[in-house]
Structure 1
Amino acid sequence: MDALIYTAMSGAERVLRAQQVHANNLANADTTGFRANLELSSAHQVEGAGYAARHLNELASDAVSAREGGQRETGRELDIAIQGPGLFAVQTEQGGATGEAYTRAGGFTLDADGRLLLGRRPVLGEGGPITLPQYSKLEVSADGVISVRTADSAELQAVDRLKLVSPEFSRLRKDEQGLLVARDGAPLDADEGVRVANGRLEGSNVSAVEEMVTTMSLSRDFEIQMRLFKSADGMAEAGNRLIRE
C-alpha cells in the first residue's frame, strides 16, 4: 500500500516543480534572447532497508532549449542577432573572480568609456572585453568583426571581433542570473563559423501556446495524483478497519 503512496506523492511533487519551470518560461516569453528551460525527470530508488521497491521522481530543470527564437529588424547598429547556432560571450564576476557566460541576447550598449556592454556585463572579443573608440559609423560583419570610422580616418577600420561560441547545449546550464555557463566551468573556445546580422534582435524561444498547453496537462496530472493518494488512503483505512474487527 505504501508503494502506491510513494508513487502518488512523488508524481505530485514532480508536477508542482514542472509547473514552476513552465511558469518561468511563460514569464520570459518576451525577454530578448531568453532560452526556455526544459523539464527532465528520472526515477531513483529510496535508500534504506525495506524500500527496494520504492522509487521517487527526481526533476532536473537545468537543461536548456537550443531552439532559435524569432528575430525582428531594429535598425540599431548595436543590436546584433546570431544567425543559426551560436552564442555571444560576456564577462562575469563572482567572488572577486572573473569568468565567462553566454547568451543569445544581442542588445548591446556603450558606456562613457566606450566599453561594449550587455546590461552591466562587458562583451568579450578576441582579446578580452571590447572597448570602442569614438566613432561616426559602426559596422559589424557577418563573422563578428567590429569596424568603425573615426574622426581622423575616412575609412572603416577593424577594432575587434566578437567572441562567438557554438557548443552543444547539453554542455551548458543556466546560472543564477539566467546566463548560460559551461557545466565544467571552463571557458568555451571561439567558433569562427558562427554568423551574425547587424540591426536585428532575437527574441525568446518560448512558445506561449506550447507552455500553456503543457501547464494545463500538468494540472490534470496533479488531479490524477491526488485521486491516487485518496484511493491509497481509503484502502489503508479499510485495511486498518479489518484488522481492528
Structure 2
Amino acid sequence: MDRFLYLAMSGAKENLYAQAINNHNLANANTHGFRQALGEAYTAPVRGPVYDSRDYVQTGNEAIDFTHGALQSTGRDLDIAIEGEGFIAVQAPDGGEAYTRAGNLHIDALGMLRNERGLPVLGDGGPIAIPPNETLLIGTDGTITVRPVGSAPNALAAVERIRLVNPDVKSLKRTEDGLIRAGDGQAPPADANVRVVTGMLETSNVNTVAALTKMIELSRHFEMQVKMMESANNVEQNHNRLLAIG
C-alpha cells in the first residue's frame, strides 16, 4: 500500500512543480525575447539495501525552448531584433556575461547602453558608452554609428559594435536570476554572421492558448494524484479495521 501512496505523492509533488514552470511561462508571455521553459518528467527507482522497490516521479532540469518568437515593428531606433539565430551579449549583475534576445535598449543618464532589465549591453571592448549625439543608427552587424552634437549632417562616427554571439543552444542554461548563460562558463566568440534589424522587437515564444490548456491539464492531474492518495488512505483504514476485528 505504501508503494501506491508514495507514487501518488511524488506525482502530486512534481505536478505542482510543472504548474510552477507553466505559470512562469504565462507570466512572461508578453516579455520580449523570452524563451519558455520545459519540464520533463520521468520515473526514478528508489535505491534500497536489497533491491529497487519503489518508483518515484521526477522532473528533470528545466530545458529551454529556443523556438523563435514573432517580430513586431516599433519604428524606434534603439529597438533591435536578432534575424535568425544568435543572441545579444549583456553584462550580468555579477559581472559575468549573459545572453538575451530582447532588444528593447535605452541609454541611461550616464550614456551607458542598457537593455530593458537595466543590464549593460556589451561590445567588443566591454560595456558600451554612447556619447552625446543628435542621431544614432544601429547597423545590421550591430555597429553603432552616431552624429555627434553640433557636427555636420555627414559627420558620422562609429562608436562600438554590439557583441553578437551564436553559441550552440544545447550548451546554454538559464540561471536562478533568469539570465541565459553558457553552461561551461566560457564566453563564446563574437559571430560576424549574426544579423539584427532595427525598429523591431521579438516577442516571447510562449503560446498562451497552449499554456492555458496545459494549466487545466496539470490541475486535473494534480487532483487525480490527490484522489489516489485519499484512496490509499481509505484502503489502509479498512485494513486496520479488519485487523482490529480479528
CA distance in 2, matches of 1:115, 1:129: 7
TM-score in terms of structure 2 length: 0.90
- Distance in 1, Cα, partners of 2:85 & 2:51: 46
Cα deviations by residue, 1:53-87 (Å, 9 ceiling, x for unpaired): 21222223532110112221111111111111211
Which of 65, 89, 114 is residue 117 of structure 1 equivalent to? 114
With the length of structure 1 as denominator, give the TM-score of the two structures: 0.90
1:143 aligned residue: 141
For 1:130, the aligned partner's letter is I
Q: Which moved more, 1:173-182 or 1:217-226?
A: 173-182
- Number of aligned residue pairs: give it: 242
Rounded to whole Å, the distance in 2 between the matches of 1:209 and 1:230 is 32
| Partner secondary structure for residue 201 of structure 1 | strand
Q: Is the CA contact (8 Å cut-off) linking 1:35 and 1:205 kept in structure 2? A: yes
Q: What per-residue deviation string (whole Å, max 9, x for no partner) do you get for residues 186-244 of structure 1?
A: 22222222111001111221111010011111111112212222222233233333333
Q: Distance in 1 between matches of 2:173 and 2:160?
A: 28
1:197 maps to which residue? 197
What is the CA-CA distance between 1:50 and the residue it aligns to? 5.6
| Counterpart secondary structure, 1:160 | strand
Q: Deviations over 1:27-66 (max 9, x none)?
A: 1111122221111223322233366121222223532110
Deviation at 1:122, TM superposition (A): 1.0
Provide the rounded CA distance (Å) in 2 between the counterparts of 1:55 and 1:165: 42
Residue matched to 2:151? 152
Instruction: Work out whether residues 47 and 53 of structure 2, in 8 Å CA contact, stay in contact via their aligned partners in 1.
Output: no
Residues 172 and 181 in structure 2, CA contact (< 8 A), matched pair in contact too: yes
Query: What does residue range 10-159 of structure 1 map to in structure 2 within 5 Å?
Result: 10-49=10-49, 52-60=52-60, 62-94=62-94, 98-118=95-115, 119-150=117-148, 151-152=150-151, 154-159=154-159
Unaligned runs of 5+ in 2: none
Q: Secondary structure at the match of 1:93?
A: coil
Which residue identity does 2:45 align to in structure 1? Q
CA RMSD of aligned residues (A): 1.9
Q: 41-50 vs 66-75, which deviates more?
A: 41-50
Aligned-pair identity in percent equals 43
- Paired with 2:230 and 2:183, the residues of 1 have a C-alpha distance of 41
Contact 1:65 1:169 in 2 (8 A): no
Matching residue's letter, 1:15: N
User: Kindly tell me: are residues 156 and 131 of structure 1, through their superposed partners in 2, closer, same or farther at Cα, counting changes over 3 Å?
Assistant: same
